A and B are shown apart, each in its own frame.
Chain A
């Protein structure tokens, strides 16, 4: 068996920590969640030498061990609990050479945990350009650590880091600050209560407990009222921070020289344009337009291809496999169902591509800066822009992205309104309905009615989100502190490798996450549609043949009549008929009703469901859209008209049909109250709007 060294990567946001992780582990990564919470856990294996591997854990970016958010809390949890299965043998703290002073604050905290610690000074390739000179031996002496100069961009320093990890046992466990010197009496007493661990660890535990958890688990807090005094705690934390900076300034004085003439340059030039009071906004909206263009136009080609391939795949399966229940299940249930997920891949990939480029380049912080003032009018924060933009991909990561908002009221409103933005799961529904009911003509020969409708739906999503937050801002009586701090990182050229890994990861997570639900629902639906209670289903053939005996129908027509009679008397048929009175006023037949009900699990199920329902019993495999176009009511009128189509589009624009989002909102707000509110208000609104629109337009 080979030896494994457990390594934790720790660092401030924007230090290139994740790039370093990618360089260390390549594609050898696993992404999961920490048990019980939705913070992403990234783990990877790095080969250090023959027989020795490192198990690298990429901890969430944090400014300090005084955790103020869920993500940061994970870092503290892992590092405080020596029994934790992620507890590292060695900590690697990553710093940006241009922000050494601030980045080292975290380093001093980690070092004080008495962990073997390696310091990586990243982006070393920019040193000359920025006029920074480092005296490594002097710094190593001052900080009492091993320092590795690295550049994830130029891919240097990785081998040196691996070598240093191999020799982690040689690292000292000395501390940088004697915390007791701040308030001797306080810390002596704390040490007495918790004699088993260092007083700094107890101190972190104490502040973390009173900050994050409402019900305290640690025994420290109960014993002595002195330790529950939060004002005193805050005072000590302030003094601690000042002392740490004194230590850092001292160390840097001996080891770093900066030529201030060279330090700024590109940043100033770009900021002058990108945060400009007019051009800044113009550029931001131009970028948004580009993103939407990519999602609609560019991704339509691969999407058509995928749609057509799945249709022919079903056909091939039917031809190749022997006929029977199993073949039907695959060709009619599973393949169309999966096709309904795979078709999203181009759009999801494009969206995450843009979002990760915006984040990586440092531009997203500028957008937050520009938009804060505008967003505050509606009770949101500039930081709500990130959830709103990523909400166009998927509400789940968007709700999680709201964690960066310090103000609870602004954060809550952001979480509540994000599901109104047009997520990619709505797109296939939109695209297919628009293609069916909106004419292909162009206004003034340039813009098509179809793309106009799509744009309208997007604007409607944003507009409703903003309107809802304005209302919530008036209604919610929550007092919270007006905090807003955001780091403005340096501009960086996004690394293609990082962007690619993000896109791959997010797309994979989406496809497998949604894929599981859709696959399960497709199979259930197929079974429900292929079997029925009682004799009417089984005797469909005899019944139809008798009824239409003298009507001289062709064999094809007869078969179709049998299939639709069977479907109507299948389990799903009866269920559909049951809910038909509820959906008929909106202009839908029972098949659409079933599709809507099943898409309360996830919207994207809609197309897959219709595909499954329609393809059961149909002889030749057609594209989903063609099959929908020919669908008629019993009266012979087409099912998909402008009125019913618009009603459907609006229903999907407003309804809360995503169990995963509800689950995430429950976790993030820690209450069922908010997701229930979302479900009831959004779906109620959807029903009313769809009802009114259909009744007016029909």
Chain B
């Protein structure tokens, strides 16, 4: 199974690999979610959604469905 942001555990980090630009809104890129950047899962709400992340030094939350589209390499 490939690793995505959705498979991260709390406290785990990864490096963003690639994602399909059809699924990911531009806004997410603009907030720093770009290939090559480090991502860490800080908290989750119950049932692991939404996910509270630190990406490239900025803090944001997204739903699990979107996190599944973003492939990462575990650190």
Contact = CB atoms under 8 A, between A and B. Distances in A.
Answer yes or no: do A and B interact. Answer: yes
Given A482-B63, A484-B50, A489-B59, A372 B45 contact: yes
B44 to A, nearest CB: 8
B3 interface: no
A485 B61 contact: yes
Contacts of A245: 32, 34
Contact of A369 (B22, B56, B61): B61
Interface in A183-231: 231
A131 B30 CA distance: 25
Interface string A310-338: 00000000000000000000000000000
Given A275-B45, A486-B61, A234 B21 contact: yes
Interface string B9-53: 000000000000110011111111011000000110111011010
A488 B43 CA distance: 11
Contact of B46 (A235, A238, A277, A481): A277
Contacts of B49: 372-373
A624 B43 CA distance: 53
B45 A237 contact: no
A271 B26 contact: no
Nearest to B37: A245
Nearest to A246: B34
B23 to A, nearest CB: 9
A66 B58 contact: no
A115 B65 CA distance: 40
A373 B65 contact: no
Nearest to B60: A487
A489 B31 CA distance: 12
A370 B42 CA distance: 14
Nearest to A68: B27
Interface in A83-115: 99, 101-102, 105
A647 interface: no
Nearest to B46: A277
Main secondary structure of the interface of A (DSSP, over half): helix
Contact of A482 (B30, B46, B65): B65
A369 B21 contact: no
Contact of B66 (A66, A235, A373, A482): A482
A481 B60 CA distance: 19
A101 B55 CA distance: 11
Contact of A235 (B21, B25, B63): B21
Contacts of B27: 63-64, 68, 406, 483, 485
Interface in A246-278: 267-268, 271, 275, 277
Contacts of B56: 101-102
A483 B25 contact: yes
A484 B31 contact: no
Nearest to A369: B61
Contacts of B35: 242
Contacts of A487: 31, 58-60
A488 B50 CA distance: 12
Given A99-B57, A482-B63, A485-B60, A373 B30 contact: no
Given A101-B57, A372-B63, A487-B60, A241 B43 contact: no
A661 to B, nearest CB: 29
B32 A271 contact: no
Contact of A238 (B26, B32, B60, B63): B26
Interface string A464-491: 0000000000000000011111111110
Nearest to A280: B45
B36 to A, nearest CB: 9
A587 B26 CA distance: 57
B45 A238 contact: no
Nearest to A267: B59
A382 interface: yes
A486 B62 CA distance: 7
B26 A484 contact: no
Residue from B22, B46, B65 whose CB has the most chain A CB atoms within 10 Å? B46
A112 B71 CA distance: 32
B59 A63 contact: no
A235 B29 CA distance: 12
A68 B25 CA distance: 10
B43 A102 contact: no
A485 B25 contact: yes
A99, A241, A382, most chain B CB atoms within 10 A: A241
Nearest to A101: B57
Among B27, B28, B34, the most chain A Cβ lie within 10 Å of the Cβ of B27
Given A101-B57, A238-B26, A382-B50, A370 B21 contact: no
Contacts of A63: 27, 30-31
Contact of A68 (B26, B34, B62): B26
Contacts of A235: 21
Contacts of B43: 271, 275, 369
Contacts of B63: 372, 482, 484
Contacts of A238: 21, 26, 29
Contacts of B28: 485
Contacts of A488: 52, 59-61
A373 B47 contact: yes
A406 B65 CA distance: 15
Given A63-B30, A66-B26, A369-B52, A101 B61 contact: no
Given A238-B29, A373-B45, 16 more contacts: A102-B30, A105-B30, A231-B22, A234-B21, A241-B30, A275-B43, A369-B50, A370-B45, A372-B50, A373-B49, A373-B50, A482-B63, A483-B27, A484-B62, A487-B59, A488-B59
Interface of B: 21-22, 25-32, 34-35, 42-43, 45-47, 49-50, 52, 56-63, 65-66
21 contacts: A64-B27, A64-B30, A66-B26, A66-B30, A68-B27, A101-B57, A101-B58, A234-B26, A235-B21, A241-B34, A245-B32, A245-B34, A271-B42, A275-B43, A277-B46, A373-B47, A481-B25, A484-B50, A484-B63, A485-B25, A485-B62
Interface of A: 63-64, 66, 68, 99, 101-102, 105, 231, 234-235, 237-238, 241-242, 245, 267-268, 271, 275, 277, 365, 368-370, 372-373, 382, 406, 481-490
Task: Please list the 6 inter-chain residue pairs (A to B) with the smallest Cβ-Cβ separation, ordered nearest first.
Answer: A488-B59, A64-B30, A102-B58, A484-B63, A241-B29, A275-B43
